[in-house]
């Protein structure tokens, strides 16, 4: 039951972000993979984890997951992406490769709110 509820929460967050995009000009949607298991260039760092910056046409900027460490911050800097004053951080689920980077939350200016299902930290 908990997995089902977590899945519903993630679907809801994605639906909110996507509905905002389709209500505006889709061509202005921007996704930037800040952290992943592989990289396209030696210029960036990789780790087992994921973090994606979603920039919506209405100016909202959401961070989807934070990877395992602060690599999402380092890659953002290398990509020339400023993570200050994010609209929020959406956490898909509580595994370390998606939330470990929250340890470095104090480095983010603007203290964006963090969203996730209430059972995100529950043992499964």
Helices (H), strands (E): how many in the chain? 3, 5
For residue 35, is it within any domain?
yes
For residue 120, is it within any domain?
no
pLDDT for 17:
56
The domain tally of the chain equals: 1
Tokens of 79: 């990509």
Q: What is the mean pLDDT of residues 105-121?
A: 90
Q: How far apart are CA 42 and CA 51, in angstroms?
A: 18
Residue 28 maps to which CATH number? 3.60.15.10
Say how many CA atoms lie within 13 Å of 100 toward its Cβ. Answer: 14
> Which residue range(s) make up the domain with 107?
2-115
Contact criterion met (CB below 8 Å) for 68 and 47: yes
**Higher per-residue pLDDT: 90 or 1:** 90
pLDDT at 6 over 60: no
Q: How far apart are CA 76 and CA 38, in angstroms?
A: 15
């Amino acid at each position: 039951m908990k997995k089902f509820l977590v899945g519903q929460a993630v679907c809801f967050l994605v639906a909110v972000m996507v509905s905002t995009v389709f209500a505006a000009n889709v061509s202005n949607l921007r996704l930037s993979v800040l952290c992943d298991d592989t990289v396209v260039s030696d210029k960036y760092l990789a780790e087992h984890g994921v973090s994606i910056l979603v920039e919506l046409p209405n100016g909202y900027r959401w961070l989807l997951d934070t990877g395992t460490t602060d690599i999402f911050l380092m890659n953002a800097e290398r990509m020339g992406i400023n993570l200050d004053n994010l609209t929020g951080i959406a956490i898909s689920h509580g595994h370390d490769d998606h939330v470990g980077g929250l340890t470095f939350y104090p480095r983010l200016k603007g203290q964006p709110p963090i969203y996730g299902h209430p059972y995100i930290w529950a043992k499964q």
